[in-house]
Amino acid sequence: MNVRPRLIEEIATPMTTPPLLEQPAWVALAAHRDEVKSRHLRELFDEDPTRGLRYHRQAVGLYFDFSKNLITDETLSLFAQLVRDLKVEQRRDAMFAGEHINVSQDRAVLHVALRMPKDRTLPVDGVDVVAQVHHVLERMTTFANQVRGGQWRGHTGKPIKNVVNVGIGGSDLGPVMAYEALRHFSMRDLTFRFVSNVDATDFVEAVYDLDAEETLFIISSKTFGTLETLTNATSARRWLVEHLGDDTAVAKHFVAVSTNAEKVAAFGIDVANMFEFWDWVGGRYSMESAIGLSTMIAIGPENFYEMLAGFHAMDEHFRSAPFEENLPMLLGVLAVWNHDFLGFPTVGVMPYDQYLHRLPAYLQQLTMESNGKHVTRSGERVAYETGPIYWGEPGTNGQHSFYQLIHQGTTTVPVDFIGFANSLNPLDDHHDILMSNIFAQAQALAFGKTEEELRSEGADERTVPHRVMEGNRPSNVILATELSPRLLGSLIALYEHSVFVQGVIWDIDSFDQWGVELGKQLAVTIIPELTSDAPTKLAHDSSTNALITYYRSLKENGRGDGDF
Ligand code: G6Q
């Protein structure tokens, strides 16, 4: 497959299709919403006893039940039309073909190439990216095996026992989420730590009990220019050199993961110890690239390849299944339905699996950094809601705190419940208790509890209004056999592609992140103003001026009573 990358103008201005709000299917969905909004999930389930089965799909090891959404067959067929009219499938194919669909950065978006099998080829701009990917995977494999096998020795000859990933955002959340998720498969005599925050506490606590002689730092940064990561990496280098008393120790204790060999070398890491990736891998889509080096060391190359196979299986499903059977398409359009048509501003992601406790944070970046955009691909202000807020906590913990609002608050929160048939740590009846809560919570959210039911249960009349659960609150349930590297890959790819589908519908660039870039620049101008010898006259707004001045005086005299 060899494609001519389309010119940026060709992609950014596909004005053969009318804007979203004028799309006939969108207009029809808006009218349809008014009908559906008056319905209750109780009625919809009563009218169709097969609903729970009809609105479920199975693919790539996942059972996806979306029956407890406020939808009918018409909702799905209107979305099928919308997806067709907006050429979502063609845009998907353009991504897989390496076209520059990240329009504002004029880049291909090819995380799907990171998990293509070795026998595939994908020439982009004349280079086979699959061959590049596998070349790096092989280098990672050799290195991971050396560390795991104790052949990679530190400066004093001791094998590595501790691996510290230093990175932030996409260079941290994937590695930490994957390590936690797959800890069961990890090599238990290695210790893994993840340092992301520029708050020194993060670094100091991470290395507090580590022996420098046995510690390997993986400096993960796509650009190798991110202030937080470079600050932490510099502190890590100083810590190591202080402990080992020799500058040359860096060679055996630091490796880099980056796209920027020059900056890696300038930092003092031998590029022979650099694992490469490419500008067509977005940070939040990079956990299965070399950014996953810590994951590979933890779970071993074989399991890492299994994870890649899981990603790839979902890629193939997304690429080939018709809309009606396509899990990412369905998850994506349901998110648009709940957000744009029913007006629900957030999505709760509740994994009922302790190993997935960092999944909500990971998905928060994936979804909100991708689809938190206010202009279309051609730069027009959008006239509709784009990305919802994602948040969540593992069950059952959340049930004892914020689920109250989900059940009885005035805001509706659609929930994605994620659970497994088998526990990796079977212990008495823990797992059935855990899973009974998914089923019960989804049921209670959908069907609620009426006054009549409460009275028939003998509830004290005064408490009846307080105990009523209106129900009609949507949820998805995603079930799988058990958490495994392969399953994790498929689950992440499901969300990645669902984000893609939403982004195409909203006609936004899901693959840039100018808001994050802004954050990287803003602090830099203020840093020099926080030192005691900086000029006292500041040129910001009055609030920022006062805050900086107060901070400086508090820092200098401990009382904050300086002249501000
Ligand atoms: C991800 C974002 C962002 C990025 C970090 C770290 O999609 O671009 O979270 O991953 O800002 O950037 P570096 O990897 O370049 O240090």
pLDDT digits (tens, 9 = 90+) for 69-104: 999 999 999 999 999 999 999 999 999 999 999 999
**pLDDT score recorded for residue 2:** 41
Confidence at residue 558, expressed as pLDDT on a 0 to 100 scale: 76
Q: Is the CB of 174 under 6 A from ligand 1?
A: no
Ligand 1 within 6 A of CB of 516: yes
pLDDT per position as a tens digit, 293-313: 999 999 999 999 999 999 999
d(C-alpha 367, C-alpha 500), whole Å: 9
Say if ligand 1 is within 6 A of residue 170 CB: yes
Q: 223: Cβ below 6 Å to ligand 1? A: yes
Q: Which atom of ligand 1 is nearest to the CA of 170?
A: 10
Q: Are 409 and 402 in contact (CB under 8 A)?
A: no
Centroid of ligand 1 to alpha carbon of 143 (angstroms) = 24
Residue 169 CA: nearest ligand 1 atom is 9
Q: How far apart are CA 407 and CA 470, in angstroms?
A: 8
Find the 547 Cα to ligand 1 centroid distance in Å. Answer: 28
Instruction: Say how many CA atoms lie within 13 Å of 306 toward its Cβ.
Output: 15
Q: Residue 488 Cα, ligand 1 centroid: separation in angstroms?
A: 22
Q: Which atom of ligand 1 is nearest to the CA of 285?
A: 7
**Residue 339 Cα, ligand 1 centroid: separation in angstroms?**
27
369 tagged catalytic: yes
pLDDT digits (tens, 9 = 90+) for 198-231: 999 999 999 999 999 999 999 999 999 999 999 9
Q: How far is the CA of 514 from the centre of ligand 1 (A)?
A: 11
- What is the predicted pLDDT for the residue at 563? 56
Question: For residue 556, what pLDDT is reported?
Answer: 86
Report how far apart, in Å, the C-alpha atoms of 285 and of each of 157, 367, 510, 511 are.
36, 11, 11, 9
pLDDT category at 550 given cuts 50, 70, 90 is very high
Beta-bridge partners for 418: 351, 478
Give yes or no for residue 282 CB within 6 A of ligand 1: yes
By the 10 Å C-beta count (0-12 exposed, 13-18 middle, 19+ buried), 222 is classed as buried
Of 222, 262, 289, 521, best ligand 1 pocket probe by most atoms within 8 Å of the beta carbon: 222
Determine the Cα–Cα distance for residues 526 and 370; give it in Å rounded to an integer: 28
Which atom of ligand 1 is the closest one to the Cα of 226? 16
pLDDT higher than 50, residue 12 = no
Options 9, 22, 242, 400, the catalytic residue = 400
Assign 3-class secondary structure to 404-422: HHHHHCCCCCCEEEEEECC
Report the candidate in 118, 133, 127 with the shortest Cα–Cα distance to residue 2: 127
- How much of the chain is in helix, strand and coil states, percent to nearest 5? 55, 10, 35
The model's pLDDT over 106-129, given as tens digits with 9 standing for 90+, comes to 999 999 999 999 999 999 888 999
221 CA distance to ligand 1 middle (Å):
7
Rounded Cα gap, residues 130 and 115, in angstroms = 8
**For ligand 1, is residue 169 a contact (CB within 6 Å)?**
yes
Q: Which pLDDT score is estimated for 510?
A: 97
Tokens of 330: 């369905």
Q: Tell whether ligand 1 has an atom less than 6 A from the beta carbon of residue 171.
A: yes
Cα separation, 507 vs 490, in Å, equals: 25
Looking at every residue in the chain, the average pLDDT score rounds to: 95
Give the pLDDT confidence score for residue 521 in this predicted structure: 83
At residue 14 the predicted structure's pLDDT band, cuts being 50, 70 and 90, is: very low
Assess whether 400 carries a catalytic annotation.
Answer: yes
Looking at the predicted structure, is the pLDDT value of residue 9 above 60?
no
- Ligand 1 neighbourhood includes 489 CB (under 6 angstroms): no
pLDDT-derived band of residue 476, with 50, 70 and 90 as boundaries? very high
**How far is it, in rounded angstroms, from Cα 350 to Cα 353?**
9
On the question of pLDDT at 16 being above 80, the answer is no
CA of 286 to the centre of ligand 1 (A): 10
Given the residues 276, 369, 393, 529, select the one marked as catalytic.
Answer: 369
Tokens of 169: 């955002």
Scan for tokens 């784009």, then name that residue.
386
Tell the residue nearest (CA) to atom 2 of ligand 1: 283
Beta strands 162-166 and 475-480 are unpaired
Q: How far is the CA of 362 from the centre of ligand 1 (A)?
A: 13
Mutate to test the pocket of ligand 1, among 104, 107, 166, 171 (most ligand atoms within 8 A of CB): 171
- Statement: residue 15 has pLDDT above 60: no
Measured from the CB, is residue 221 less than 6 Å from ligand 1?
yes
Count Cβ atoms below 10 Å from residue 343 Cβ, excluding itself: 12
**At residue 403, what is the residue type?**
Y
* Closest ligand 1 atom, residue 520 Cα: 11
The reply to whether ligand 1 has any atom less than 6 angstroms from the CB of 165 is: no
- pLDDT at residue 394 in the model: 96
* Candidate list 40, 158, 161, 520, residue with the active-site label: 520
